[in-house]
Amino acid sequence: MKKQSGFTLIELMIVVAIVAILAAVALPAYQNYTKKAKMTELVAATGAVKLAVELCAQTKATPTTYGDECIKSTNGIPANVTSGAIEITTAKVDESNVSVTAKVGASGAAPLSAGDSYVLTGTVDGNSKVTWKATCVNGSKTLDYCP
């Protein structure tokens, strides 16, 4: 009798099952990774506005006028962009807080969903230093792929 070499069908099925399990685990992790990478575009989009708000806080505003002064284009703050793939807006939260929001527009920025937002909230202290806190949201839902 001649000895057979090679793989049996059951061995091949086991290998295919193992590869399928690994792919099932890796795919959601990869999708989250790609969303986090795309969200960095929103972070980068807020950079110019963030810098302008910090300069305004140090040169044009006091801690009590920061919320009003550091959202005006006359004080060097870029105008709101409300169309396109990424929309950027600044808004007064209160006297000592300003928010800078970069949001995925209606035209989208796949793999992100329309409405996914990167929100920076800047709080000024008595020395005109701005401290930033970042959150990633879509409506009232906090996103888990915030960079």
Strands 117-124 and 130-138: antiparallel
Task: Count other C-beta atoms under 10 Å from residue 2's C-beta.
Answer: 4
Domain boundaries, the chain: 9-142
pLDDT value, residue 75: 84
pLDDT value, residue 113: 85
pLDDT value, residue 119: 93
Q: Per-residue confidence of the chain (147 residues) as pLDDT tens digits?
A: 677 777 789 999 999 999 999 999 998 888 888 889 888 988 998 999 999 999 998 888 888 888 888 888 888 888 888 888 888 998 888 888 899 999 998 777 788 888 899 999 999 888 888 999 999 998 888 888 888
Task: Give the type of residue at 79.
Answer: A
- Hey, what long-range contacts does 109-116 have (CB within 8 A, 24 or more apart)? 109/38, 109/41, 109/85, 110/38, 111/31, 111/34, 111/35, 111/38, 112/35, 112/38, 112/39, 113/138, 115/139, 116/39, 116/42, 116/143
Please give the helix or strand (H or E) that residue 48 lies within, else none: helix 47-59
Q: What pTM did the predictor assign?
A: 0.76
pLDDT value, residue 100: 92
Domain covering 9-142 assigned CATH 3.30.700.10 in the classification: yes
- Residue 145 exposed, middle or buried by CB count within 10 Å (0-12, 13-18, 19+): middle
